[in-house]
C-alpha cells in the first residue's frame, strides 16, 4: 500500500500572518554572492499584501553578511522589530532582511524581493528557474489557452485588433486577458516605449503606447517576447489592458473591469 504525506494546511499566527512550508529549492543572489540557499523555505502572507513572501531558516542564510539595521523601519512587516542591512557587494543594502514577530516563524529570516525599490537581492531562483517580483502563490493559477473566439479591440472608437485565433490567459483574481497575434493588431497605431515590467508567472514584458488622441493611458499594450515555459504560447502575442480599452468577444462588448492595475494606468 502506498502512503502519501498529509496535506500541509495554511496556518495562522496571532499576529495575523498566514504561512505554510514549501518544498521548493530557493536561492537568492546579490551580485555574484549567494545569500540564501534553502530547501526548506516558508511562504508567508502578510495581512495587507495580496502576494506571499519567503522566510528562510537562519542556517540557510549567509548571516555573516547581515548587520543590525542602522535605521530599522520598526513596526512594518506586521510589527517586525528586528531588521538587517545586507553587506554583500557594491555597498550595503539597507533593511534588506527582517524577522517576523511570530513564535511560529522564530529562527526564520525574510528578504525583500522587489528590485524596483532597490532594497532586495538581484536574482531569485525556484529550482533552476528565475523568479521575478515576488514568489509564486501556490493557491493561484495562470492558464494560457488557445481559442477560436472572435475578439475585437477598439481604442477611442478605432478598431485596433480583430482576431479569431487569440490565446486567452486566465489568472486567479484578474480579468481574462486576450493575447492577439501581431498580424491581427494595427501596431502602426502604437509607439514602442522603454517601459518594462516583470511577472513571476509570465516573465518580462515590453510595452506600446497609443499614438492617437483621447484619454488613453500610456503603455496600454504589451507583449512577452520570451515568456516563462508555463505560458510559452503567448510568445510575441499582444494584449491590451481591459481596464482602458473596449473589448468585444463573440459579439458581446465586455465591461471595463476595476482591478489593482486601474489606479496605476495614467494618461
What are 45-85's pLDDT values in tens digits? 999 888 899 999 999 999 999 999 999 999 899 999 999 99
116: confidence class by pLDDT, cuts 50, 70, 90: very low
CA gap 84, 98 in Å, rounded: 6
Q: List the strands of the sheet with 142-146, edge to edge.
A: 142-146, 167-171, 177-179
Residue 169, pLDDT score: 98
Given a contact cutoff of 8 angstroms between Cβ atoms, the answer to whether 223 and 250 are in contact is: no
Residue 90, pLDDT score: 77
What are 210-232's pLDDT values in tens digits? 999 999 999 999 999 999 999 99
What is the average per-residue pLDDT within 191-210? 95
163: confidence class by pLDDT, cuts 50, 70, 90: very high
What is the average per-residue pLDDT within 190-201? 94
Residue 16 has pLDDT above 50, yes or no: yes
261: confidence class by pLDDT, cuts 50, 70, 90: confident
Sequence-distant (≥ 6) Cβ neighbours of residue 78 within 8 angstroms:
15, 16, 17, 46, 47, 100, 101, 102
**What DSSP state is assigned to residue 61?**
B
Amino acid at each position: 500500500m502506498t502512503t502519501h504525506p498529509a496535506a500541509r494546511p495554511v496556518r495562522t499566527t496571532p499576529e495575523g500572518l498566514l504561512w505554510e512550508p514549501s518544498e521548493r529549492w530557493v536561492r537568492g543572489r546579490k551580485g555574484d554572492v549567494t545569500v540564501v540557499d534553502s530547501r526548506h523555505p516558508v511562504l508567508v502572507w502578510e495581512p495587507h499584501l495580496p502576494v506571499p513572501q519567503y522566510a528562510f531558516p537562519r542556517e540557510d542564510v549567509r548571516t555573516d553578511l547581515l548587520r543590525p539595521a542602522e535605521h530599522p523601519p520598526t513596526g512594518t512587516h506586521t510589527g517586525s522589530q528586528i531588521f538587517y542591512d545586507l553587506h554583500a557587494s557594491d555597498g550595503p543594502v539597507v533593511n534588506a532582511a527582517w524577522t517576523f514577530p511570530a513564535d511560529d516563524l522564530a529562527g526564520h529570516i525574510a528578504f525583500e524581493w522587489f528590485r524596483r525599490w532597490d532594497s532586495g537581492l538581484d536574482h531569485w531562483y525556484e529550482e533552476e528557474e528565475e523568479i521575478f517580483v515576488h514568489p509564486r502563490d501556490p493557491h493561484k493559477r495562470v492558464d494560457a489557452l488557445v481559442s477560436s473566439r472572435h475578439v475585437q479591440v477598439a481604442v477611442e472608437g478605432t478598431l485596433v485588433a480583430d482576431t479569431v485565433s487569440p490565446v486567452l490567459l486566465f489568472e486567479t483574481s484578474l480579468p481574462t486577458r486576450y493575447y492577439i497575434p501581431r498580424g491581427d493588431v494595427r501596431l502602426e497605431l502604437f509607439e514602442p516605449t522603454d517601459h518594462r515590467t516583470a511577472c513571476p508567472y509570465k516573465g518580462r514584458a515590453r510595452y506600446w503606447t497609443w499614438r492617437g488622441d483621447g484619454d488613453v493611458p500610456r503603455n496600454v499594450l504589451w507583449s512577452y517576447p520570451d515568456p516563462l515555459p508555463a505560458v510559452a504560447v503567448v510568445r510575441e502575442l499582444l494584449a491590451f489592458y481591459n481596464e482602458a480599452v473596449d473589448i468585444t468577444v463573440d459579439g458581446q462588448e465586455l465591461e471595463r473591469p476595476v482591478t489593482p492595475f486601474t489606479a496605476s494606468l495614467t494618461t
